[in-house]
Amino acid sequence: MRKSVISILVIAALVGTGIAAACQPKPAPPAPAPVPAPTATSTPTTSTETYTLNFEFVGWQHPIDDNIFKEGGLWQRMVSQRSGGRLKLNIIHPYDAMDALPAIQDGRMDLGHVAFAYLSGTYPLYNWAEIPGLFSLGAVESQKEEAWVNADPRLHKIWDKTLREQGTVFLSQQQYAPANVLFTDQELTSLASLKGKKIRTPGHIGGLTLEALGAKPVQVVWGEITSSQLTGITDAVLITLPDGLWWVGLDFVKYIIPIPAGPGWTAFTVMNAKKFDSLPPDLQQVLKDVGRDLIRITSSMSLVGWLIPGKEGAEKLGIKILEWPSGEVEKAKPLLKPVEDEWLKIAGPYGPEVLSIVKEDLAKYREMPQYPK
């Protein structure tokens, strides 16, 4: 009996202990580790200072260039508007076309228009469009092809890198009408008729082309192209159609003749690298963006606003526009191939890459389907 009572008491005690334990409140779970506050991201600060840059433009009274580079032109207007007035371009022209690049390189000028067509012997890389045989012979089609290639950002990167090595920054490229047109009083529409003729050309690569075609290239300064023909120093002037109508004395010009030479006439807008780097990043970007947009704008202006009216102007003046027969063009092709080979020799380490990009772009352009008319 006694054992039974003890057993009951033990069981009761155990049960009571369990009940009491069950009735105790559960311990609170451990507090979660604090989440670190997000790091504040810094946004680029917009500069507030105003900068005035001296912009070199030779001021040669060119109808398209005047609307782009002179006071009140697109460069000045677009830079001012996009920078909120913080960038001002002071357009001046203390140097001639040959001295513009050195003046920008050594800091006498901040930025400006550089006619690399006059410097093709020193800087052949940028004058790739003078290589004969790349473009269609037709003026309008070659203009569209060149505009297509000039917009390729891969070329812009090469221009950026190589010009940096020379103390400048690439901002933009100006496209002109095809510069493979003869102004002359002779019917120079074949290899035989061109043989031995003295022809004014603006640069080294054009001279190589004329030599390959049997002519004699002559270097004549811009201001003497008319008198050179009147005095017999030259038999013809190799120039663009609209510029020829603008500059060449037309009283003695009977014929305008496109020949199978490279149509390019290269000009860049570049800036002194140290001056560019001294600007705030947002203003650097303004200059880059304006420059890239002007590549497209100037291509359209050259084609629509000047090239086509130039042809109409020649016809109104009674000047005949002659064409080389297709057979003569085909005969010229093998003669001109060495010009490309020579360009590759003198263009430097980026020459093969540039030429490869150009040919790839032209192939893509020509692969595009033609819509039915």
Q: What is the pLDDT of residues 200-253, one digit of tens each?
A: 987 889 999 999 999 999 988 777 877 888 888 999 999 887 777 777 666 778
- Find, among 301, 281, 288, 265, the residue nearest to 111 by Cα: 288
Q: What is the pLDDT of residues 287-321, one digit of tens each?
A: 999 999 999 888 877 776 556 667 777 878 888 98
Residue 146 confidence (pLDDT) above 60: yes
At 246 the pLDDT is 73
Which tokens belong to 229?
């023909």
CATH code, 51-177+264-317+351-362:
3.40.190.170
> Alpha-carbon distance 251 to 373, whole Å?
40
The overall average pLDDT reported for the chain is: 84
Q: What proportion of the chain, given as a percentage, has pLDDT over 90?
A: 57
Phi then psi for 11, rounded to 5 degrees? Answer: -60, -40
In this structure, what DSSP letter does residue 125 have? G
> Alpha-carbon distance 366 to 373, whole Å?
17
Q: Which of 44-48, 61-65, 268-272, 353-357 has the lowest mean pLDDT?
A: 44-48
In the chain, where the domains are located: 51-177+264-317+351-362
- Mean pLDDT to the nearest integer, 194-199: 96
Q: How far is CA 132 from CA 58, 128, 141, in A?
A: 28, 9, 15
Residue 26 confidence (pLDDT) above 80: no
Model confidence, pTM: 0.81
3-state secondary structure 10-77: HHHHHHHHHHHHHHCCCCCCCCCCCCCCCCCCCCCCCCCCCEEEEEECCCCCCHHHHHHHCCCCHHHH
- Find, among 126, 210, 154, the residue nearest to 364 by Cα: 154
- CB neighbour burial string for 307-346, b if at least 16 within 10 angstroms, e if fewer: bbebbebbeeeebeebebeeebbeebeebbeebbebbbeb
3-state secondary structure 66-117: HHHHCCCCHHHHHHHHHCCCCEEEEEECCCCCCCHHHHHHCCCCCEEEECHH
> Alpha-carbon distance 186 to 333, whole Å?
23
